[in-house]
Amino acid sequence: MPSRKRVPAPLAWLLVAVALLGLAWAFLTPAWQSPDENSHFAYLQSLGERFDLPGDPERESYSTEQWQAIQAVNADQVAAVLATDPEWSEQAYERWRKSEDELSGPKRQDGGGPNPATANPPLYYLYTSLAYRAAASGDIFDRILAARVAGLVWPLLVTLGAWLLAGELFGRDRTLQFAAAALGGLMPMTSFISASINPDGMLYATWTIFLWLGVRALRRGLDVPTAFGLAAVTGIALVVKATSYALLPALALVFGVGLWRARRSPPLRIAATVGAAAAALAATGGIWTLIARGLNRAASGQLATPGAGSGLDLVQLASYLWQFYLPRLPWQDPFPNSTGLPAFEIFVKGAWGAFGWLEVKLAEPVYVALGALTLATFVAAGVALWRTRRSFDWAVAAFLALATATLLAGLHWTEYHFVLSGNPNFMQGRYLLPLVGIGGLALAKALTLVPPAWRMTAVAGIAGLLVALQLYGLGLVLQRYYA
Amino acid sequence: MRDRPELALAAVLGLALAVLLTVGLTDRRDEAFTLGVQPAGVVELKPGERACQEGIDVPADFSSVELQVGTFRREGSPLEVTVHERTGSGRLLGRGVLAGGYPDVSRQRADVGRVEAGQRVAVCVEARGPRKVGLYGNVARAAPGSTLRAEGRPVDADLTLVFHGDERSVLGELPDMLSRAALFKAGWAGAWTFWLLTLAVVALVPLALGLAVRSLRRDSGG
C-alpha cells in the first residue's frame, strides 16, 4: 500500500508559528494604519458591496460608513505621524457604535470613486471580498479583520513555496529547506503586509510559488502539469498587481529552455505543454484583459502611470542608479530621493521592518546589523556558489537572476521617472519581498559553508532571531499606537 | 550535544524576551493621552482673552496639561489653565497656573490636579499677563469631535494638547494598552483577545519553533 504523503513536521510547526504571528499582526495593527490600507479597503468594499470596480469619477472615494469610521478612530491624523495616537476613548467608541448602528445599507455602498488603489487589477480584492461578505453581518471593523485574516494564507504559501523551492535545489535537506522557509515566513514585513488589506501579500505568495515551479521545470523538465501551473500562477500574479509583468521574461526563459530540451519529444506532447500553458494564461490574465477592455479600463493602470512624456537621459539614469546603491560622487547632481543611501534607507529598512505608514521603525543600529547580515549572507552565498561551480546549474541561475533583474529594473525605471516628474516617494523596501524566496535560497546556500555538525544550530539561531525581530516589531506597534 | 539546536533557539529567544522585559520595565512615561493635533499654526490670545478646547474625551486619568506656546520673541506671559466639565462654562474640575518667563515656541506644562477618566471635558487657557501669546494647534478637523472656542466664538482650529498623569513603566501600562487595542476592532474582541494573542506570541510561537527544530533534528537522525 503506498504511503500517504504527509507535511514534514518541521514545516508544519513552522507554519503554526507563521500563522500565529500573522494573527497577532492582523489584530494589533489599527484599522487603516498600514500603507494605503484606506484605499485598498475602499476597493474591497466596492467589490464586496456593489460587486463593481472602483474608479467612477461621479462617486465618492470612500463610503459614508468608511468615512465615519476613519474619523472615529482619527485614522487620517494618525497616519505616519508618530506624535498622534489613535482614538482610545470608550465614549468615542460608543458614539461611533451608535452611528454605525443607525447607518443603512446604502451608506456602505456609496463609495466606489477613484482612489490610489483603483489602478490595481481585482483578483486580490475579489478574494478578500469573500471574507468581507462572510462577515457582512458585523460592523466595519469585523469586516476589516475578516479581510486581514483571509490574507494570512499568503505568508503560509510563501513559507511552503520557499520550502519547496529550496527542496528543488538542495534535495531533501530539511535543515536548508527550513532555513529558506523560515526566512520567507518569519520576516516581520511579510507578516505585517500580509496581515493588512494590501495586495502585496498575495504578490509575495504568487511570486514564491512561481519561482518554485520555474526551478522545478528547469530541473525536472517542462511537463504538462508544471507548464500549466507555472503559467497559471503567472496569470494569477498579473491579475494581482502590475509588478508581475516582471515575471514574463523569466517565464519565457523557462519555456524557451524547457521546449529546447524537449525538442526531440513527440510533437503532440510539446503541443500539449504549450497548449496547457496558453490555456492557463488565457484563463487568468487573458480573461481579466478581456473584462478590462469591456469595461474600458486599463488591465494594469500602473504600467501606464509613470514617466508619461519624460524622455530618457542615459547618463542621468546611470547617475540615479549609482546614487541609489553607492555614495554620491562629487560631480554628480543629487537626486531628490537620495537622503542617505537609498539602498539602505529604503531597501534594507523598508524590507526588514517599517510598520504602520512606515513611521514605526526599528532602532538604527538594528537596521545597520540587519544590513550587514544581509550583505554577509549574499557574499557567503556567492562564495558557496563559487565553490560548487562545477555543478552549477546555469539555467536555474539565469532564471533566478532574470526574475530579480527584471523586478529591480522595473522598480528603478518607474522610480526614476517618478523622481523626474517631482514625486520622489515611489520606491518602497517591501517591493523587494516578492523575491523573498530567492533570499531564502541565498541564506540556505550561505549555510552550506557552516560545518554540518553546526548547521542546524545556526538555523535554529537564525529562526530565533527572526522571531525576536517579530516580537520587537509587534512591541513597537503596541507601544506606538496604544501607549 | 544532542540538544544544541534547541538550546540555540532558546538562548536567542530568551535573550530577546529579556531585552523586551528590561525595556518594558525601565522605559517609563507619564503621557496619559493626547488630542493628536500637530502644531502647525497659532491661535493668538490677547491679554485677558480665553480659549477653550471643548468636548475632549478623557480615556485616562491626568493631572497636568502640556501645550505649545509662542511668545512672539518676548518673555512668556502667565497663563491660567482650567479644566471644566464638557464646555468652558461647565463645572470646574481642575485649575493650574503657568508662570511667566518661559521661552518662545516651547512646550509648557500646567499642573491642574487630578481629573478622572470617563468624562468629557474642556481645557481653557486664559492669558493672564500683559502680553499676547500664541497657542499652537492645527486646523479644526485635526481633532474630530472636539472644538475650539476663543472668547466664546468657534475657531477653525484645534489646540495641540498633551495630557500627563502618573509615571508608569511600559510594562505597567500593558493592561491599559491591551484594552485600548481592543477598541475599534472586531465587535466580539476584547482585552482578553489581546492577552491571548500576547500569550500566543511569547509562548506558543517559541514552542512551535522549538518543536520544529526538534523534529528537524530527529529527521536528520541527530
HSE on the CB side for A62, CA within 13 Å? Answer: 18
CB-CB under 8 Å, B215 with A13: yes
The SS3 of residue B103 is coil
Binning pLDDT at 50, 70 and 90, where does residue A306 land?
Answer: low
Environment class of residue A259 by beta-carbon count within 10 Å: exposed (0-12), middle (13-18) or buried (19+)? middle
CB-CB under 8 Å, A483 with B29: yes
Using a CB-CB distance cutoff of 8 angstroms, which residues of chain B are in contact with residue A77? 36-38, 142-143
CB-CB under 8 Å, A85 with B36: yes
Residue of chain A nearest B3, judged by CA positions? A457
Binning pLDDT at 50, 70 and 90, where does residue B20 land?
Answer: very high
Rounded-to-integer distance, Cα A338 and Cα A424, Å: 9
Residues B173-186 have a mean pLDDT of 94
pLDDT tens digits, A325-381: 999 898 888 887 667 899 999 999 999 999 999 999 999 999 999 999 999 999 999
CB-CB under 8 Å, A28 with B194: yes
Residues A157-179 have a mean pLDDT of 97
Greatest pairwise CA separation for chain B in angstroms:
84
The SS3 of residue B113 is strand
* Cα–Cα distance list, A95 to A68, A100, A142, A182, B56 (Å): 11, 9, 17, 44, 13
CA distance A28 to chain B (A): 7
Residue A478 in this model has a pLDDT that exceeds 60: yes
CA distance B185 to chain A (A): 5
pLDDT tens digits, B41-55: 999 999 999 999 999
**Between the ranges A42-46, A302-306, A390-394, B25-29, where is the mean pLDDT highest?**
A42-46
Residue B187 in this model has a pLDDT that exceeds 60: yes
CA distance A31 to chain B (A): 8
Q: Give the number of residues written for chain B.
A: 222
The torsion angle over the Cα atoms of residues B61, B63, B68 and B70, rounded to 10 degrees, is 150
Q: Which of A215, A223, A210, A213 is nearest to A261 (CA)?
A: A223
Q: With contact defined as beta carbons under 8 Å apart, do A441 and A166 qualify?
A: yes
Report the amino acid identity of residue A405. A
CB-CB under 8 Å, A468 with B215: no
Cell numbers 483577545: residue: B193
Q: Which of A78, A471, A478 sits opposite B16 (nearest CB)?
A: A471
Q: With contact defined as beta carbons under 8 Å apart, do A246 and A240 qualify?
A: no
Residue of chain A nearest B220, judged by CA positions? A174
Residue B63 in this model has a pLDDT that exceeds 50: yes
The SS3 of residue B169 is strand
Q: B79 has which bridge partners? A: B98, B127
CB-CB under 8 Å, A86 with B8: no
- Sign of the dihedral through C-alpha A212, A214, A219, A222: positive
CB-CB under 8 Å, B36 with A471: no
Using a CB-CB distance cutoff of 8 angstroms, which residues of chain B are in contact with residue A10? 212-213, 215-216, 219
Structure confidence at residue B3 (pLDDT):
72
Residue B157 in this model has a pLDDT that exceeds 60: yes
Residues B100-126 have a mean pLDDT of 96
Residues B202-209 have a mean pLDDT of 97
CB-CB under 8 Å, A8 with B34: no
CB-CB under 8 Å, B219 with A460: no
Structure confidence at residue A335 (pLDDT):
80
Q: Which of A262, A254, A272 is nearest to A215 (CA)?
A: A254
CB-CB under 8 Å, B212 with A471: no
CA distance A464 to chain B (A): 5
Interface probe, candidates A456, A465, A472, A480, chain B, greatest B C-beta count within 10 A: A456
Residues B184-199 have a mean pLDDT of 95
Interface probe, candidates B213, B217, B218, B220, chain A, greatest A C-beta count within 10 A: B213
Question: What ipTM was estimated for this complex?
Answer: 0.92
Residues B157-161 have a mean pLDDT of 94
CB-CB under 8 Å, A27 with B181: yes
Interface probe, candidates A66, A87, A476, chain B, greatest B C-beta count within 10 A: A87
Using a CB-CB distance cutoff of 8 angstroms, which residues of chain B are in contact with residue A139? 187
Structure confidence at residue A217 (pLDDT):
97
Structure confidence at residue A3 (pLDDT):
55
Q: Which of A87, A141, A456 sits opposite B217 (nearest CB)?
A: A456
Residue of chain B nearest A455, judged by CA positions? B5
Using a CB-CB distance cutoff of 8 angstroms, which residues of chain B are in contact with residue A362? none
CA distance B129 to chain A (A): 30
Using a CB-CB distance cutoff of 8 angstroms, which residues of chain B are in contact with residue A472? 16, 20
Binning pLDDT at 50, 70 and 90, where does residue A1 land?
Answer: very low
Residue A126 in this model has a pLDDT that exceeds 80: yes
Structure confidence at residue A339 (pLDDT):
72
Q: With contact defined as beta carbons under 8 Å apart, do B147 and B120 qualify?
A: no
Average pLDDT, chain A: 93
Using a CB-CB distance cutoff of 8 angstroms, which residues of chain B are in contact with residue A174? 216, 219-220
Residue A227 in this model has a pLDDT that exceeds 80: yes
Pairing, β B106-115 against β A360-361: unpaired
- Sign of the dihedral through C-alpha B214, B217, B220, B222: negative
Alpha helices in A138-283 (DSSP H): 140-150, 153-170, 174-186, 188-194, 200-220, 224-238, 248-261, 267-281
Q: Buried b vs exposed e over A382-410: b needs ≥16 C-beta within 10 Å? A: eebeeeeeeeeeebbebbbebbbebbbeb
CB-CB under 8 Å, A464 with B11: yes
CA distance B100 to chain A (A): 27
Report the amino acid identity of residue A189. M
Give CA angle at A407 (A402, A412), nearest 5°: 125
Rounded-to-integer distance, Cα A368 and Cα A366, Å: 5
pLDDT tens digits, A264-294: 999 999 999 999 999 999 999 999 999 999 9
The count of other CB atoms within 10 Å of the CB of residue A58 is 6
Using a CB-CB distance cutoff of 8 angstroms, which residues of chain A are in contact with residue B209? 13-14, 17, 463-464, 467
Q: With contact defined as beta carbons under 8 Å apart, do B108 and B64 qualify?
A: no
Cell numbers 504527509: residue: A6
Q: Which of B38, B194, B209 sits opposite A13 (nearest CB)?
A: B209
Residues A397-417 have a mean pLDDT of 95
Residue of chain A nearest B178, judged by CA positions? A482
Residue A309 in this model has a pLDDT that exceeds 80: no
Query: What are all long-range contacts of B188-197, with beta carbons under 8 Å and residues at least 24 apart?
Result: B188/A142, B189/A27, B189/A145, B193/A27, B194/A27, B194/A28, B197/A23, B197/A24, B197/A27, B197/A28
Q: Which of B55, B69, B39 is nearest to B135 (CA)?
A: B69
Q: With contact defined as beta carbons under 8 Å apart, do A288 and A121 qualify?
A: yes
The least confident of A25-39, A208-222, A319-333, A446-460 is: A319-333
Q: Which of A81, A178, A472 sits opposite B216 (nearest CB)?
A: A178
